[in-house]
Structures are given as C-alpha cells and as structure tokens.
Amino acid sequence: MLKLVVGLASLAVVVVGGIAFAADEDNANALASSAGFIREGSKFGIRVGDHISAADWNARQHHFQLYSRDDLQTCLSQEYPATEAIVVYKDDSWRRGTVCVAFNRRSGKIAAVEWSYAAFMVDL
C-alpha cells in the first residue's frame, strides 16, 4: 500500500512539474514556436514600432542577453536592407534561442523581430 501511495505521489509531482514547465511562456516558445519572423505585432515583448532602447529590457525578461550590436545585414534566415541595423540576443540555456531585432538606423524604431530556437542541441 505504501509503495502505491509513494508511486502515485511521484507521478503527481512529475505531472505537475511537466505542466508547470510547459506553461512557462519561454519554454513553450522553445518547443512550439521554434522559429519565426514578424514585421508587425510583437514577440518576447519586443514590439515592432517601439524604439530599439525598449528591446534590451524586454529581451532580458525572456532570458535573452545582448550578444551583438555589429553592423550586420543578415541574421538567421533574413536579409535586411541597408536602412536597418540589427541587434542580436541569445539565450544560452537548454532553449538555445537567438533573437534578431532589426531597427531603422535613422529613427531607431524596431522594424522586425526574428527568432530561432535549437532546444536541446549539443555543441560537439
């Protein structure tokens, strides 16, 4: 009887833990929305049309850290026009995420958000 109770309790912990894991927005993004690109709306709290200065705070709220502010014209799968600059954020956890934020060089307004996850990928 004790083994049955312990077994059921263990199963309950696994089920509740799994639900909590999948309910986390960042974990769900890594598993279900593994790549994408937008030129309107928002992703990770980074809203197209906002000033680029808002992107840092929002990216950090979703476990991304600033990776690069280089003068890139391509990031992940997109090519960007010369009128746009790109800031790259990375999540080096098990989610292995990358977010590219393109913004207008003149106005500083966010023009696009692109993301990709390679969850569970192992570097060799």
pLDDT digits (tens, 9 = 90+) for 50-104: 999 999 999 999 899 999 887 778 999 999 999 999 999 999 888 889 999 999 9
Residue 20 has pLDDT above 70, yes or no: no
Residue 48 has pLDDT above 70, yes or no: yes
Question: Whole-number mean pLDDT of the chain?
Answer: 79
CB atoms inside a 10 Å sphere around CB 96: 17
Is the whole-model pTM more than 0.85? no
Distance CA 41, CA 49 (A): 9
Query: 92: closest CA among 53, 52, 61, 121?
Result: 121
Contacts by residues 66-74 (CB-CB < 8 Å, ≥ 24 positions apart): 67/98
Query: 43: closest CA among 120, 112, 118, 117?
Result: 112
Interacting residues of 5 by C-beta distance below 8 A, sequence separation 6+: none
